[in-house]
Amino acid sequence: MTQVISVKFKDSGKNYFFSPDGKTYNVGENVIVETANGLAFGTVAEGNHEVEDERVVPPLKKALRVANNKDLQRLEENKTKEADAFKVCEEKIAAHKLDMKLVRVEYSFDGGKITFFFTSDGRVDFRELVKDLANHFHSRIELRQIGVRDEAKMLGGIGICGQPYCCKRFLDDFLPVSIKMAKEQNLSLNPTKISGSCGRLMCCLNYEQESYEYLNSITPWVGSTVKTEQGVGIVTDVNLITGNLTVKPKEGEGAPYKTNRKHVKILGGGKAKKAEDTEE
């Protein structure tokens, strides 16, 4: 077992392990840690605890100290610089006539590196832009192309459910989402109803998928032939959540009636049709 602390660098980012180096850190404390890119400012998400050695990716970097007022002041100065750098970069993108949208600018804690995040529909030759930015800021420059889901995670916003984006609030990683999920959950396939503000399928389609897969496995689908207490019939309507079915007598005699999946035996036509699994 290895003793570590968990540190996050963004509100919605992943937690990373660092060695406490013999010190005790508490949840919520701001700390300065050593990373592959130099010093970084983070927040303790979980204090001193032990994890299996297999979970630690070597080399395990150290947490150096609790952040002080000087560190907090530097953090605020970096935020001001980021806003200024954003304006400068936008002007230079326009000057170079590049087809790219700047999303965010991040300064490293020590100010030695500036990362510019952008989106674009295709590949962008930004070599001249990098040189221009390096000459202007006299720092190491990185331009990083991100996807529309990453953009939504960075910027945040309110989803159609009225809640802040899941990716901004608590999702560490993007979950694989497919149109198959919408079909199995009997949702409208209208893109405007099952897509998030980023334009991709909503991440929340994944949350109840396991339950829907189970319900689909035990529920006869529309068109199935079933045997009920009233005879043999064809399923014409299904409510997956309640298990209620509407069955039409197969011989065409009598009106359709309600029953429940608990009270039927599937004779043919079986389960839900398998949909193509196309991941987003």
Averaged pLDDT, 41-60: 92
Instruction: Give the residue from 79, 18, 78 showing the smallest Cα distance to 43.
Output: 18
Does position 204 have pLDDT exceeding 90, yes or no?
yes
* Per-residue pLDDT reduced to its tens digit, 232-270: 999 999 999 999 999 999 877 789 999 999 999 988 875
Structure-token pair, residue 237 = 């309507």
What CATH code would you report for 213-268? Answer: 2.30.30
* Cα-Cα-Cα-Cα dihedral sign, residues 153, 157, 163, 164: positive
Q: For residue 271, what pLDDT is reported?
A: 55
Residue 128 pLDDT greater than 90, yes or no: yes
Residue 13 confidence (pLDDT) = 72
| pLDDT computed for residue 270 by the predictor | 57
Contact status, residue 167 vs residue 173, Cβ threshold 8 Å: no
Domain edges within the chain: 2-67, 72-146, 153-206, 213-268
pLDDT at 273: 41
Average of per-residue pLDDT across 89-103: 96
Cα–Cα distance for residue pair 108/112, rounded to 1 Å: 6
Q: Which of the following CATH numbers is that of domain 72-146: 3.30.1490, 2.70.98, 3.40.50, 3.30.300?
A: 3.30.300
Which tokens sit at 209?
A: 């998928």
Quick one: average pLDDT of 27-31?
95
**Is the pLDDT score of 51 beyond 70?**
yes
Whole-angstrom distance, CA of residue 142 vs CA of residue 134 = 9
> Is pLDDT above 80 for 116?
yes
Helix axes 127-137, 69-96, angle to 10 degrees: 140
pLDDT confidence of residue 36: 84
Please provide the average confidence, as pLDDT, over all residues in the chain: 90
The rounded percent of the chain whose pLDDT value lies above 70 is 95
**Predicted confidence (pLDDT) at residue 19 exceeds the cutoff of 70:** yes
Per-residue pLDDT for 151 more than 80? Answer: yes
Where does the pLDDT of residue 272 fall: very low under 50, low under 70, confident under 90, or very high at 90 and above?
A: very low
Average confidence (pLDDT) over 3-7: 94
pLDDT attached to residue 247: 94
Kindly report the number of other CB atoms within 10 A of residue 243's CB atom.
Answer: 16
For range 150-156, the mean pLDDT:
92
- Residue 37 confidence (pLDDT): 81
Position 125 scores a pLDDT of 94
Residue 25, token pair as written in the block? 């850190």
Per-residue model confidence (pLDDT) at position 278: 37
Q: Is the pLDDT of residue 171 over 90?
A: no
In the structure encoding, which two tokens stand for residue 118, read together? 């952008």
pLDDT band, residue 12 (cuts 50/70/90): low
pLDDT given at position 186: 86
Q: pTM for the complete prediction? A: 0.77
How far is CA 234 from its chain centroid? 41
How much is the pLDDT for 175?
A: 85
C-alpha angle 44-46-47 in degrees, rounded to nearest 5: 85
- The beta strand positions in 52-150, using DSSP E, are 63-66, 101-107, 113-119, 140-145
